[in-house]
Structure 1
Amino acid sequence: MRVLRQCVGLPQRDEALALNIAPRRYAWLREVALCLDETPWVVARSVAPLAQLKGQRLERLGERSLGSWLFRQPDVVRGPLEVTTHAPLFAGVSGIQDDSVWGRRSVFYHGCKHGCQQGSLSLLVQEFFLPAMADDLGLPSR
């Protein structure tokens, strides 16, 4: 795994809608590439509203996967899985255009023991499968 970018910034409009926040609200953004032999197969973008992070220390993940933190949380609830061909522009990854990659995304809710409400963390996780993966696996192109 290679971290492409991790910063505070503004989510894209569709990301803000998925998280049920105003589009101009700051969020923690993390982009990573999952590689085979240095070739990116999957790029992932995670978005969490900055106001909800409250000491989660996700910025300290470094090269560890977000899943290593996420699936250790006892009270995580995963929302519905969505399929998309709309990929955001990723730092340091070329050749990604809308409709050129398939992706999936879902919102994870942390702190939902008594129903997801104020005080819980919403975290949008998006993964996009690059053409190199299909090529390396010998899958037909669409």
Structure 2
Amino acid sequence: MSPAWWQWAATRGSLTRRLIEAGAPRRFQVRLLEQRPDRPRRDEARALGVATDRLVWRREVALCLNDRPWVMARSVAPLNGLRGQRLAGLGERSLGHWLFRQPGLERGPIEVSADPAPFCHAPGPWGRRSVLRHGRFAVLVQEFFLDNMVDDLALPAR
């Protein structure tokens, strides 16, 4: 992985904030693709420490600059930890914007992969995921950088 990509993949803070800064003056938007209760995939259940037959809150979005998707994101959180979080009302607002304002937020290790299968089915050079925790609330955030981002920022392919 090139140093330019490592700076993106290893970011422990808000990816939303980094995208907005890197994409300026382009307009940032979140395109909500799907949000609903669902069953986690096996790898997601393992990462969150829940059974595969438990219901989770699943949200899939495209993070876009000037209507061009730069990142596909899939977030999964156990329903039993969502009390009082009101995440269903996020709509086309960034989950990261909400998460990184929470005091005491802890991010687990970041797993980086060049294989899109664990993250989403989108073309691009790298994906990453990690579990973020705030009290009883835990969410697995999976992000895959797309070729549009590579082109628009003139990043190396790998």
Q: Which bin holds the TM-score, normalised by the shorter protein?
A: 0.7 to 0.9
- 1:134 pairs with 2:128: no
Match of 2:116 among 86, 108, 118: 86
Unaligned runs of 5+ in 1: 91-95, 112-119
How big is the shift at 1:86?
A: 3.2
Match of 1:103? Answer: 127
Unaligned runs of 5+ in 2: 1-29
Task: State how far apart, in whole Å, the 1-side matches of 2:38 and 2:125 are.
Answer: 24
Report 1:1-142 matches (<5 A): 1-84=30-113, 85-87=115-117, 88-89=119-120, 96=122, 100-111=124-135, 120-142=136-158
How many residues end up aligned between the 2 structures?
Answer: 127
How big is the shift at 1:10?
A: 1.0
Q: Which runs of 4+ in 1 moved over 6 A?
A: none
Task: State how far apart, in whole Å, the 2-side matches of 1:109 and 1:2 are.
Answer: 24
CA contact (8 A) 2:125 2:157 kept: no
How big is the shift at 1:89?
A: 4.2
- Structure with a larger share of its residues in helix: 2
SS at structure 1 position matched to 2:127: strand
Distance 1:10-1:37 versus aligned 2 partners, 3 A rule: same
Task: State how far apart, in whole Å, the 2-side matches of 1:69 and 1:141 are.
Answer: 31
SS at structure 2 position matched to 1:75: coil
Match of 2:9? Answer: none
RMSD: 1.7
TM-score normalised according to structure 1 size = 0.81
Task: State how far apart, in whole Å, the 1-side matches of 2:153 and 2:105 are.
Answer: 33
TM-score normalised according to structure 2 size = 0.73
Question: Aligned residues: percent identity?
Answer: 60
How big is the shift at 1:55?
A: 1.9
Q: Which amino acid aligns with 2:139?
A: L
SS at structure 1 position matched to 2:149: helix
